[in-house]
A = this chain, B = another copy of it.
Amino acid sequence: MRTLKQRILDEATVIGTEILKVDNFLNHQVDVEFLTEIGAEFYKRFGQEQVTKILTIESSGIAVACMTAPFFKTPVIFAKKVESRNLVGDTYSSEIYSYTRDKSYRVHVSRNYLSVQDRVLIIDDFLANGKAVQGLIDIVNQAGACLVGVGIVIEKGFQDGGNQLRKSGVKLESLAIIAAMNEKEIVFQNVETDAD
């Protein structure tokens, strides 16, 4: 997605070799108008899949998922990281290891909101090692629902998550894939769907 890549080049800052800060429009300050364009792009790529639910994970996936869902006319479900008093009763849950924080956490989705009838599109802001998405896929499988695909705003192509998902047969669409980055330069991987 050309406009996304341009914004990354114009506005992102790289810290070290792993952190890409896109706080300006994606995951701290949110440019909802731009996220609507991103939602439209996901619809272009998954609109034929008869999606019934969009699944994401708190927190920074919520904004992208919410601006995407109106195109699909489906609800959003966000998996919760904290077991709260408000989420009692039966849940699907999966353990996710976070490299950033070097610890595992468990995410939960109420059994009320995913079933064998559902066709689920997973949406998230970033994909790096893929552990969060794998946890969400685990939850989709527990529900016996059908995973139609995974839509990611920015994939760190130099980490392994994306390729693992593709190898396992998941339809993964990342709107920008970063092949390499450092504090001076960000290099994108070109993929067929880049034509836009």
- Residues of chain A having any CB pair with chain B under 8 Å: 15, 19, 21, 23-25, 27-33, 35-36, 58-59, 62-63, 65-67, 69-70, 73, 75-78, 80, 84-88, 100, 109-110, 112-113
Closest to A72 in B: B32
Chosen A-B contacts, 21 in total, with CB atoms closer than 8 Å, are A23-B86, A23-B110, A23-B112, A28-B77, A28-B109, A28-B110, A29-B77, A29-B113, A30-B62, A30-B65, A30-B69, A32-B69, A35-B66, A58-B59, A59-B59, A59-B62, A59-B80, A63-B63, A63-B76, A66-B67, A84-B100
Interface pair A87/B36, CB less than 8 Å apart: no
**In the complex, what residues of B have CB within 8 A of residue A85's CB?**
15, 19, 100
Chain B residues contacting A80 (CB-CB under 8 Å) are: 28, 59
Copies of this protein chain in the complex: 2
Nearest 9 CB-CB pairs, A to B? A58-B59, A30-B76, A59-B59, A32-B69, A62-B62, A29-B113, A66-B66, A29-B77, A63-B66
Q: Given known contacts A58-B59, A59-B59, A66-B66, is B30 in contact with A86 (CB within 8 Å)? A: no
- Given A30-B77, A32-B75, list of 6 further CB < 8 A pairs? A30-B76, A31-B75, A32-B66, A33-B70, A58-B59, A63-B78
Query: Which residues of chain B have C-beta atoms less than 8 A from A110's C-beta?
Result: 23, 28-29
- The verdict on A88 contacting B15 (CB below 8 Å), with A63-B66, A76-B29, A78-B28 known, is yes
* Residues B70 and A32 in contact, CB atoms below 8 Å apart: yes
Nearest Cβ on chain B to A177's Cβ, whole angstroms: 19
Which residues from B are CB-within-8-Å of A28?
77-78, 80, 86-87, 109-110, 113
